[in-house]
Amino acid sequence: MARIVVLYSSLGGNTRQMAEHVAAGARLVPGVEVTPMDAAALDLAALESADGIAIGAPNYFSYPSGLIKHFFDLAHQRAAFKGKPYVAFSTHGGGGGISPVLEKLSQAVGMKPAAAGLDVMGLPQGDQVKDCRKLGQALAVRASS
Ligand SMILES: Cc1cc2nc3c(=O)[nH]c(=O)nc-3n(C[C@H](O)[C@H](O)[C@H](O)COP(=O)(O)O)c2cc1C
């Protein structure tokens, strides 16, 4: 069974809700176990043993939240992250998504993209919810293969 962790941080709830949609998409793939993880309760061992990681952060001061940055600081030079599939997602308040920064950090620790990142202003709505699910599904398919 492939294991996916949806790692996110969220003070206001927007990114948490996006993470829930990403997780719902990953659960559409048979034989996949999906675990949401708030970065405030980071479990590095669980992330190391995951077959794929979805990483979501809010834009705080034009950068990913400090809690998500902390994950990358810990993941640096950890062999377990080399080659691990990931997808990135973010919410923002109008200043722009920061999934490109998440992509850069993910690749800096050796992870490999399973799909292009997704950015949403505020809460995901309508087709954005579908896009979140597709993102999670793409990761789960890659992690299962
Ligand atoms: C401390 C802080 C800094 C923020 N800085 C930015 C910013 O630089 N650019 C932007 O577009 N939105 C900014 N926002 C708005 C958040 O990115 C936006 O509301 C996001 O959806 C919040 O996610 P959350 O509800 O998961 O915490 C900021 C919000 C907070 C709390």
Q: What is the CATH number of the domain that holds 64?
A: 3.40.50.360
With a cut of 90, say whether residue 114 has pLDDT above it.
yes
* Per-residue model confidence as pLDDT tens digits over 67-106: 999 999 999 989 999 999 999 999 999 999 999 999 999 9
- Rounded mean pLDDT of 11-27? 98
User: Given this model, what pLDDT does residue 48 score?
Assistant: 98
Q: By alpha-carbon position, which residue is closest to atom 1 of ligand 1?
A: 60
The packing angle between helices 99-108 and 66-75, to 10°, is: 20
Q: Is the pTM of this model over 0.95?
A: yes
**Maximum CA extent, the chain:** 39
User: Given this model, what pLDDT does residue 77 score?
Assistant: 86
CA distance 116 to 53: 14
For the chain, how many structural domains are there in total?
A: 1
Query: 30 is written with which tokens?
Result: 């048979």
* Per-residue model confidence as pLDDT tens digits over 29-71: 999 999 999 999 999 999 999 999 999 999 999 999 999 999 9
Which of 60, 69, 123, 125 has most ligand 1 atoms within 8 Å of its beta carbon, as the pocket-test mutant?
60
Residue 89, classified by CB atoms within 10 Å of its CB into exposed (0-12), middle (13-18) or buried (19+), is buried
Query: 108 is written with which tokens?
Result: 């800096």
Residue 63 Cβ inside 6 Å of ligand 1? The answer reads no
- Spatial neighbors of 100 by CB under 8 A, at least 6 apart, are 117
Domain that holds residue 64: 2-144
User: Given this model, what pLDDT does residue 104 score?
Assistant: 98
